[in-house]
Structure 1
Amino acid sequence: MIMTQIRLAILFALLVFNTSVFSQTSYPKITGYFGVLHPIATFSSEETNVNFRDYYAVGFPTGVNIWKSSKIGFSFEVVPNIKSEDGISKMNNLLFHPGVLVALGKGYTFAGRAAFETNGRYGITPVFNKTVIKNTNSSYYVAVPLPVRFGNEHPATFTVGFQFGIAF
């Protein structure tokens, strides 16, 4: 049991940290990333919620991208979300976020993601991403996620967010 866990941990580290075991000059190409997500405003038929005004919400998208070619790939992302309100902070949701990646050129990427949240909501998230700094072993990006959510006896919502992070 422990040996299996160690093997899985080593495999995960190899995938995420993009070691030389995988040649990155050919495909499939595997990359990992970590970011910080700030939802800016959420709109529904009942209300508009603005982050930073009455509460503070932040998410930490962490994922693995598997590029099939230079144009298309698959991504799996997990996003723990933390909310602080009235002096109390807690992790209020975990988002499972698989999707398709489409390279648009000049450092731009579109991610079309399905969304499954532990709070009972589900939906889609189109994400527009731009690599702003590219180094030999990493790159820095900014992104605009546009989540649409349904379910759990709440009205449909549309959110505009801002994300930044590092890919390696």
Structure 2
Amino acid sequence: MSILRYPRSFLILFIMTGLLSHKVGAQPTQPPTYPRMAGYLGVLHPLITVDEKGSETNFSQYYAVGFPIGLNLWKTKKLGFSVEVVPTIRAENGTSRVANVLFHPGVLVNLGHDFTLASRLAFETSGRYGFTPVLNKIVKKGQTNSYFVAIPIPVRFGNDRPTSLTVGLQFGIVF
């Protein structure tokens, strides 16, 4: 009985051997050790801001964009600390400027399935302060970096302005 007389059997045997040898030859994945540090960069687009005076949207009369830069220190698989700095550029009427710099420390909670909740305090150079819950999702994992999408919801007080709530959209890379 020759294997050449049964091409389907040969093909199945070849595929199974390839799959088994791949698993045998692959490096075992080790779980991460803690504490563990990760850095990230992102682009933040505030979408809409609401306060007692009404609402305003980005992209209508002006364009604002932030560039979050941060470090996450994961103490355990479930809990970590994060510090972030976010310079924001605002363009309107043909000019642009750095309108604000945000210092944004917070606590990270791993929710599972690549979701993280960041509960951040907020201190802005504009004189505003508050807090920002952020829901984050890793959308693509790589060997050395991952890509994420996040929805920050900043709540701000102070500087003789009414309390405001903003919804934003953030994209970034973790390394």
TM-score tier after normalising by the smaller chain length: 0.7 to 0.9
1:92-144 alpha-carbon deviations (Å, 9 max, x no partner): 00000000000000000000000000000000000000000000100000000
1:136-161 alpha-carbon deviations (Å, 9 max, x no partner): 10000000000000000000000000
- Corresponding position of 2:158: 151
Unpaired runs of at least 5, structure 2: 1-30
- Corresponding position of 1:69: 76
Q: Return the match for 1:47 from 54, 64, 77.
A: 54
- Corresponding position of 2:38: 31
- Corresponding position of 1:89: 96
What is the CA distance between 1:25 and its match in structure 2? 2.5
**Quick one: distance in 1 between partners of 2:44 and 2:32?**
30
- Corresponding position of 1:112: 119
Bigger Rg over Cα: 2
What is the CA distance between 1:43 and its match in structure 2? 0.3
- Count of matched residue pairs: 145
Identity of aligned residues (%): 58
Query: When the two structures are superposed, what TM-score results if normalisation uses the length of structure 1?
Result: 0.85
- Corresponding position of 2:171: 164
**Quick one: distance in 2 between partners of 1:43 and 1:124?**
15
Structure 1: 4+ residue segments shifted above 4 A: none
Q: How much is the aligned-residue C-alpha RMSD, in angstroms?
A: 0.8
Unpaired runs of at least 5, structure 1: 1-23
Partner of 1:63, secondary structure, is strand
Query: When the two structures are superposed, what TM-score results if normalisation uses the length of structure 2?
Result: 0.82
**Quick one: distance in 2 between partners of 1:114 and 1:25?**
28
**Quick one: distance in 1 between partners of 2:95 and 2:55?**
22
What is the CA distance between 1:47 and its match in structure 2? 2.4
Correspondences of 1:134-149 after superposition (within 5 Å): 134-149=141-156
